[in-house]
Structure 1
């Protein structure tokens, strides 16, 4: 049993999930930026949440692009490296999403 032949289908599957989830999260972040702008306008207060969400959107986009590149590459070594990069970016962006949710909740409830 060769480790590389057994590993490729699972890695591609993970890459497909990162690609679709991160692309969806870009849309979610953009939607939340719009909603937050409405909340900010109603409370007459500006929050750093928009900046954090914009950064979050860029991280999800980078994860999406890295996973797409990993799916398209034929070089196995590059494929595995890109999969690790997209996985790390996605997990970091997901963590930042949680921080953003807490910050936005705190900022909105403080007003």
Structure 2
């Protein structure tokens, strides 16, 4: 994803960037809610088993990454500066992918921790 090179490509590239930003924004916002819900469920499970898991801390960090990604993509949607829009969208995309990877790691850790206990 490179910034538009010519003015002829600019409207199409901007439209694609806005589509990506909208998807990152909506998915990140939804994943914040998912992470918070799972943290609540994990806390209930922890209180039932009288053991502590690292999973709730991991998911709290994950929720913050999704929140940052969501805020950056919202900022990218609101800015009129094409260069700033590109940088914000790229940063939001990278943070979203890191958070998505951390979601998979969290799920694997929760599954492993539940089977051990």
Give the secondary-structure state (helix, strand or coil) at the position aligned to 1:65.
helix
Give the drift of 1:5: 2.1
1:84-99 pair list within 5 angstroms? 84-99=90-105
Residue 110 of structure 2 is aligned to residue 104 of structure 1: yes
Indicate the residue corresponding to 2:39 in structure 1. Answer: 33
Indicate the residue corresponding to 2:50 in structure 1. Answer: 44
What CA deviation, in whole Å up to 9, does each residue of 1:10-62 have, x standing for no partner? 11001000000000000000000000011111111101001100100000000
Higher helix share: 1
TM-score, with structure 1 as normaliser: 0.97
Show structure 2 runs of 5+ residues with no match. Answer: 1-5
Q: Number of aligned pairs?
A: 111
1:45-60 pair list within 5 angstroms? 45-60=51-66
Residue 84 of structure 2 is aligned to residue 71 of structure 1: no
Give the drift of 1:67: 0.1
Q: What is the CA–CA distance in structure 1 between the aligned matches of 2:18 and 2:12, rounded to whole Å?
A: 11
Give the drift of 1:108: 1.0
Give the drift of 1:4: 2.0
Show structure 1 runs of 5+ residues with no match. Answer: none
TM-score, with structure 2 as normaliser: 0.92
RMSD: 1.0
